[in-house]
Every structure is written in C-alpha cells, then in structure tokens.
Amino acid sequence: MRTRVGIIGAGPAGLALAHLLRLRGIDSVVLEARSREYVERRVRAGVLEHPTVELLREAGVADRLDREGMPHHGLSLRFDGADHRIALTDLTGRSITVYGQQEVVKDLIAARLEAGEPIVFEASDVRPHDVETDRPYITYVDADGTPQRLDCEVIAGCDGSHGVSHTAPSTVPSTRHEHDYPFAWLGVLAKAPPSHSELIYTHHERGFALHSMRTPEITRLYLQVPPEERIEDWSDDRIWDELGRRLTADGFTLTTGPIMEKGITTMRSVVTEPMRHGRLFLAGDAAHIVPPTGAKGMNLAIHDVWVLAEALGRYFGEGRTDLLDGYSDTCLRRVWRAQHFSWWMTSMLHQAPGADDFQRRLQLSQLRYTASSTAAATSLAENYVGLPYR
C-alpha cells in the first residue's frame, strides 16, 4: 500500500489525526496492534477539556458526545471534612465534559469506517523505517500473518508509551525526562450512580481519593496506594470500606454497587524532546505521559494531532515546512504547562511516604488558599478546563 501519512496506533491521537487529515483531503492509513473490540472497550481517561470538545464538534464527530456527555461546571476539593467548590465556568466561562476515552474512540472509528477509510486492526510487528529520509515506510504483519509494507511520506507515531515509534532508530539525539511518583492509583469502575454531581478530589490523612463518573449509572473511583500494592489484596469490600473512610464529609453518602473493573496504575511523568525525528512525528503518550491527577493525558494527545494536522495541511497544500519544523516546540510548550499543573495537583492532594507534620500542614495551607482565593481558584480552573489552543 501507499499513502501520504502512515499512522501507528488507533487510540484517540491516531484516530483524531486521521479524521482531521481526511477533512483536509489528505489520505492516511491507520495501523493498530489490537482488535477493534479491544480498542473500543479499553477504559482510560474520561474528562474532556473545553478546547477538546470544541475541536470534536468542529470536526463533526460530537453528535453522540453532545447527547451523552456530562458537562461539568465545577469540581470539589474535599479536605478538612468538607467540600470546597471550584466554580470552573463562573471563573473561566468554560467547562469540562465527562465522556469516556473509549467513547471518543468509538465515534472516530465509526466516522472513519463510514467514510471508507482504512484501519488495519491486529497488525503485528509494526516497524517504521528510513524516517530520516524523504521515503519512509512501515512494515507489519497483517491479521492473516502476511508481511506487508506501507510506503508513505510522513509517519505519525501515536502508539503510546509501550509502542515502537519512540524507539525508532534516528540520527536526531533525543532527551527523555522522567519522574516517578512514590504512589499509585487503584481505580475501579462500579455499576453505581455517582454519589455527587461533580468530581471530588479528596485530600485525606489516609491518602488521596477521587470520585468521578462515566455515565449516570457508572461511577469511576480511585484510591492512592503504594506503587508495590497488589490488586489481589483488595477485595471489593475492602475497596468500598476505604473509599467510605476517605470520602467522608458532612451530608455525603457514598453509593456502592458491583465493581465491574479494578486495577492499579503507577504514576509518572515522561517528556521526550524533540517530538520529531525526520519524517516521524510523535504524538500523545508516545511522546509524553502525565500523572492522571490533572486529567491531561488524552487532551494533550488531541492537541498534538491538531497541531500536526494543521502543519501537514500547509505542507501538502502549500509546500510550507515552517509549521512542521515548529511542531515539537509548539506541542512541548503545552506539554510542560500540563506537566507542571499535574505535578502541582498531585503534590497538593497526595500523602507522600514519610511526609512529616510540616509538609502536611503546607499541603493544607495550599488547599485552603486555593479554595478561598479567587486568583488561586481561577488559576486552577483555567488550567483544568484547558488553555486555548491558539
């Protein structure tokens, strides 16, 4: 096969890029290691920034999002046994929308297949080649076991932190900035109505907890645990008991129900610089990872491919290379802002191992200031709802 843009990965980044390119008349082929069923059922992020929602609307793939998404105009910081609401919309004029990453993926897959554009699922041994030349190509083995070659002019690596794109041979030296956090999140998906109308970020002496949701019938909840914790040691009863302890507040009742999924995720920050190697452009988790506290991962990926689609449109349409040359720097400015915000939220809300009373009192001081100062609350709000793309 031959195409203009070969896209590795059918997550939100790869699929959004393919859709944005199609709107510009640029053909592409998407290669995905997993099956369609797996990709559409993979539960990940669930908070969409205001600019992300606006982009999906402009791209014509937000019909179901607008019907089923859950707009939120505020969130709660819960500490000292009480809620302190951050009024996102009142402070910024913008909001967030709770809509699962897998739902965004379903919408983008449906739009692409309806347009008759190719997605190659279950492609194994995917490898980019000759990325430093003007004739890059990708080799892979299709679902029938047949070796294939995809010739292209540009390769987009949207295959996540465990993919092959960020390890592709390159003559361009890269720097990988990494930071490991001394805790993990135990996350559960429960068949239970949300216990609160908005997200609750809880600072508690036993550790951080987060109350979120995916639909009016399904709740998403998280507990801070040590990174070496084993999920086998957490029965459903133990999980609900610990959530009840940490989320306690006056007038709050935790709604429980059957736990559908549970798992433990370590927390880290990663930034790869630059995000380009010749004709290979990295996007999303292939280039950067943020701790989930700030709800930035999928939103950064969508911003990356928005920048890349615009740059490729100018390149193929007008022969301009300046936007492609500036791709990495443009994306990294937003990436580092999101990294700082996510680190700040994480540091303010979690109980660090070995923290003394002095450090805990500093955390509470920051929380109280953020909840009581309009300037501090506005800073949190504008970062949380998403800074403008331009």
Q: How far is it, in rounded angstroms, from Cα 86 to Cα 373?
A: 10
DSSP line for 213-249:
EEETTEEEEEEEE-TT--GGG--HHHHHHHHHHHT--
What does the alpha-carbon distance between residue 383 and residue 338 come to, in Å, rounded to a whole number? 8
List, edge to edge, every strand of the sheet that includes 280-282: 119-120, 28-31, 5-8, 154-157, 280-282, 276-277
pLDDT tens digits along 126-151:
999 999 999 999 999 999 999 999 99
Give pLDDT, residue 231.
97
Candidates 268, 283, 279; CA nearest to 334 is: 283
pLDDT for the residue 170: 74
Active site residues: 72, 201, 292, 296, 384
One pLDDT digit (tens) per residue for the chain, 390 residues:
899 999 999 999 999 999 999 999 999 999 999 999 999 988 777 899 999 999 999 999 999 999 999 999 999 999 998 999 999 999 999 999 999 999 999 999 999 999 999 999 999 999 999 999 999 999 999 999 999 999 999 999 999 988 999 888 776 678 999 999 999 999 999 999 999 999 999 999 999 999 999 999 999 999 999 999 999 999 999 999 999 999 999 999 999 999 999 999 999 999 999 999 999 999 999 999 999 999 999 999 999 999 999 999 999 999 999 999 999 999 999 999 999 999 999 999 999 999 999 999 999 999 999 999 999 999 999 999 999 997
Q: What is the pLDDT of residue 352?
A: 93
pTM (predicted TM-score): 0.95
Sign of CA dihedral 325, 328, 330, 333: negative
pLDDT at 390: 79
3-state secondary structure of 319: coil
Fold classification of 5-72+96-177+268-344 (topology level): FAD/NAD(P)-binding domain (3.50.50)
Question: What stretch(es) of the chain map to CATH 3.50.50.60?
Answer: 5-72+96-177+268-344
What is the predicted pLDDT for the residue at 174? 87
Task: Assign a CATH topology to domain 181-267+354-385.
Answer: D-Amino Acid Oxidase; Chain A, domain 2 (3.30.9)
The answer to whether the bond into 128 is cis (omega within 30° of 0) is no
List the alpha helices (DSSP H) in the chain.
12-23, 36-41, 50-58, 63-68, 88-92, 101-114, 236-246, 297-318, 322-325, 327-349, 357-372, 374-385
